[in-house]
Amino acid sequence: MLWSWGANSHGQLGIGTISEQVDKPHKIESDSWSKIKQVACGGGHTVLLDEDGKLFSCGWNSKKQLGIDETTTFQRIWRLSGIKFIEISCGWDFTCAVTDDHFMFVWGCNSNGQLGLPKKHFPESVKPIRLQVNACGVSMGLRHSAIFNSKGEVWTTGCGKHGQLGLGYDVLSSDRFQKVPKVSNISHLCCGQNYTVAWNNNEKVLYVWGDNKHGQLLLSPEKYKCVFVPQKIDIDVQENVKKLLSGWTNILLWLEDGSLLTWGRNNYGQLGTDVPFEGNTLRVKLPDGRNVADVALGAEHTICLADDNTLWAWGWNEHSNTGTASEDYIFAPTLVPFDINDNTKITQISAGGAHNFVVTEEIDTNDEATSTKETKTVA
**Would you kindly state where each structural domain of the chain is located, as residue ranges?**
2-48+155-378, 49-135
Identify whether the C-beta of residue 14 lies closer than 8 Å to the C-beta of residue 2: yes
Question: For residues 369 and 320, what is the distance between their CA atoms, to the nearest angstrom?
Answer: 38
What is residue 236's predicted lDDT score, i.e. its pLDDT? Answer: 93
What is residue 339's predicted lDDT score, i.e. its pLDDT? Answer: 85
The pLDDT > 90 percentage for the chain reads 92
Identify whether the C-beta of residue 31 lies closer than 8 Å to the C-beta of residue 340: no
At residue 240, does pLDDT exceed 80? yes
In the CATH hierarchy, which fold is given to the domain comprising 2-48+155-378? Answer: Methylamine Dehydrogenase; Chain H (2.130.10)
Question: For residues 176 and 158, what is the distance between their CA atoms, to the nearest angstrom?
Answer: 8
| pLDDT band with cut points at 50, 70 and 90 for residue 374 | very low
At residue 95, does pLDDT exceed 50? yes
At residue 19, does pLDDT exceed 80? yes
Question: For residues 66 and 32, what is the distance between their CA atoms, to the nearest angstrom?
Answer: 17
Residues contacting 67, CB < 8 A, separation 6+? 55, 57, 77, 79, 80, 95, 107, 127, 128
**Is 374 exposed, middle or buried (CB count within 10 Å of its CB: 0-12, 13-18, 19+)?**
exposed
At residue 368, does pLDDT exceed 60? no
Question: For residues 241 and 79, what is the distance between their CA atoms, to the nearest angstrom?
Answer: 36
What is residue 376's predicted lDDT score, i.e. its pLDDT? Answer: 38
Q: How does DSSP assign 252-314, residue by residue?
A: EEEETTS-EEEEE--TTSTTSSSSPP-SS-EEE--GGGPPEEEEEE-SSEEEEEETTS-EEEE
At residue 377, does pLDDT exceed 50? no
Q: In Å, how far are 28, 74, 151, 219, 252 from 233, measured between CA atoms?
A: 42, 41, 21, 9, 15
Give me the mean pLDDT over the 268-292 stretch. 95
Q: What is the pLDDT of residues 293-310, one digit of tens each?
A: 999 999 999 999 999 999
At residue 228, does pLDDT exceed 60? yes
Question: For residues 247 and 244, what is the distance between their CA atoms, to the nearest angstrom?
Answer: 11
What is residue 369's predicted lDDT score, i.e. its pLDDT? Answer: 46
What is residue 342's predicted lDDT score, i.e. its pLDDT? Answer: 87
Residue from 174, 176, 251, 171 nearest 207 by CA: 251
What is residue 372's predicted lDDT score, i.e. its pLDDT? Answer: 41
Question: For residues 345 and 310, what is the distance between their CA atoms, to the nearest angstrom?
Answer: 9
3-class secondary structure per residue, 64-121: CCCCCCCEEEEEECHHHCCCCEEEEEECCCEEEEEECCCEEEEEEECCCCCCCCCCCC
At residue 163, does pLDDT exceed 70? yes
At residue 222, does pLDDT exceed 90? yes
What is residue 366's predicted lDDT score, i.e. its pLDDT? Answer: 63
Three-class secondary structure of residue 372 per DSSP: helix
Residues 244-273 as b/e (b if ≥16 CB within 10 A, e otherwise) read bbbbbbbbbbbbeeebbbbbbbbebbbbbb
Three-class secondary structure of residue 179 per DSSP: strand
What is residue 375's predicted lDDT score, i.e. its pLDDT? Answer: 38
Three-class secondary structure of residue 188 per DSSP: strand
Q: In Å, how far are 65, 104, 311, 374 from 136, measured between CA atoms?
A: 22, 10, 29, 40
What is residue 365's predicted lDDT score, i.e. its pLDDT? Answer: 66
Identify whether the C-beta of residue 373 lies closer than 8 Å to the C-beta of residue 364: no
What is residue 379's predicted lDDT score, i.e. its pLDDT? Answer: 32
Q: In what order do the strands lie in the sheet with 260-264?
A: 241-246, 250-255, 260-264, 282-284
Give me the mean pLDDT over the 65-81 stretch. 98
β-partners of residue 147 are 138, 155
What is residue 367's predicted lDDT score, i.e. its pLDDT? Answer: 54
At residue 45, does pLDDT exceed 90? yes
Q: What is the pLDDT of residues 114-151, one digit of tens each?
A: 999 999 999 999 999 999 999 999 999 999 999 999 99
At residue 326, does pLDDT exceed 90? no
Q: In Å, how far are 3, 4, 14, 35 from 27, measured between CA atoms?
A: 4, 7, 10, 16
Which of the 8 DSSP states describes residue 336? P
At residue 264, does pLDDT exceed 70? yes
At residue 43, does pLDDT exceed 60? yes
Which of the 8 DSSP states describes residue 43? S
Residue from 288, 330, 286 nearest 311 by CA: 286
Give me the mean pLDDT over the 248-266 stretch. 97
At residue 370, does pLDDT exceed 70? no
Residue from 196, 279, 278, 199 nearest 242 by CA: 199
Three-class secondary structure of residue 365 per DSSP: helix
What is residue 373's predicted lDDT score, i.e. its pLDDT? Answer: 41
Q: What is the pLDDT of residues 168-200, one digit of tens each?
A: 999 999 999 999 999 999 999 999 999 999 999
